[in-house]
A = this chain, B = another copy of it.
């Protein structure tokens, strides 16, 4: 594979490739606005709306930056996960008016990862003066933006999507230093449809990673098996026509060995197959 050097990200050794993969999307999408909008000063208070792939990355990066993090979610059941496992400082149920009222005007910024339509007025209320609501979820329908609450305390609603290569490298280096990876579930290619169904139900913590390398190897092996079987049948016919029973048995044994090797998915299988076909 040939890649322009300007588009290559160096992955430090301590980051596993699979758990690092989604940092290149969820990581940079949340790290970038935290940095760009200055929500990266220790002691600041940042809200994270939605605890999914983007949300859990936002919590990890914000915490690593020394920021106080409050997860805002519609699901009270996510509190334990947010606070105990991901290390958020507090948890707000967005449809609980009492909890929301107490938190009014306390946040320097909010990373809103929700891509479904949702009201932003309560979120704007959570912000301090000059607070920043950053939308990183791509809602399809336009949001209803109340103007007066923005005007009165000079608040900002902004959008942010991924980040440039330089910033992505900075994010990966920061993740390496802080030992941040995404929480993932590695799946083979043929699990994709099931994965899609589970995604709809938000049944993944927090990203599926498709193991393309092994999937391709398996697919290639499958293809090789087809060729093997074709050559096997062809040779069987030839040997039976010659009444070469010794040759017939040795071919069967040899091909059984190839079969076992291919099922084990050894990397040398392809070259063995190649030798066999050209013998």
Question: Which residue numbers of A lie inside 8 Å of B, CB to CB?
Answer: 33, 36, 121, 135-140, 142-152, 154-161
Given the contacts A157-B157, A157-B158, A142 and B147 also touching, CB distance less than 8 Å: yes
Query: Cα distance A138–B148 when bound, in Å?
Result: 6
Shortest CB–CB separation between residue A80 and chain B, in angstroms?
30
Residues of chain B within 8 A of A121, CB atoms compared: 142
A151 touches B142 (CB 8 A): no
A interface: dominant SS: mixed
What are 19 residue pairs bridging A and B, where the CB atoms are less than 8 Å apart in the complex? A36-B154, A137-B147, A139-B147, A139-B148, A142-B144, A142-B147, A143-B144, A144-B145, A145-B145, A148-B159, A151-B159, A151-B161, A152-B159, A152-B161, A154-B159, A154-B161, A155-B159, A156-B157, A157-B158
Among A140, A147, A154, the one with the most B-chain Cβ atoms within 10 Å of its Cβ is A147
Contacts A142-B144, A142-B147, A150-B157 known; list 19 others, CB within 8 Å.
A33-B154, A135-B147, A135-B150, A136-B151, A138-B147, A138-B148, A143-B145, A143-B147, A148-B159, A150-B158, A150-B159, A151-B161, A152-B159, A152-B161, A154-B160, A155-B159, A156-B157, A157-B157, A157-B158
Query: Cα distance A151–B148 when bound, in Å?
Result: 22
Query: Cα distance A139–B146 when bound, in Å?
Result: 8
Query: Cα distance A121–B158 when bound, in Å?
Result: 14
Query: Cα distance A33–B138 when bound, in Å?
Result: 27
Ordered nearest first, which 9 A-B pairs have the shortest CB separation?
A150-B159, A151-B159, A145-B145, A142-B144, A151-B161, A156-B158, A139-B147, A143-B145, A142-B146
Shortest CB–CB separation between residue A192 and chain B, in angstroms?
25
Partner among B36, B142, B145, B151 whose Cβ is within 8 Å of the Cβ of A138: B151
Residue of B nearest to A156 (CB): B158
Among A36, A149, A157, A159, the one with the most B-chain Cβ atoms within 10 Å of its Cβ is A159
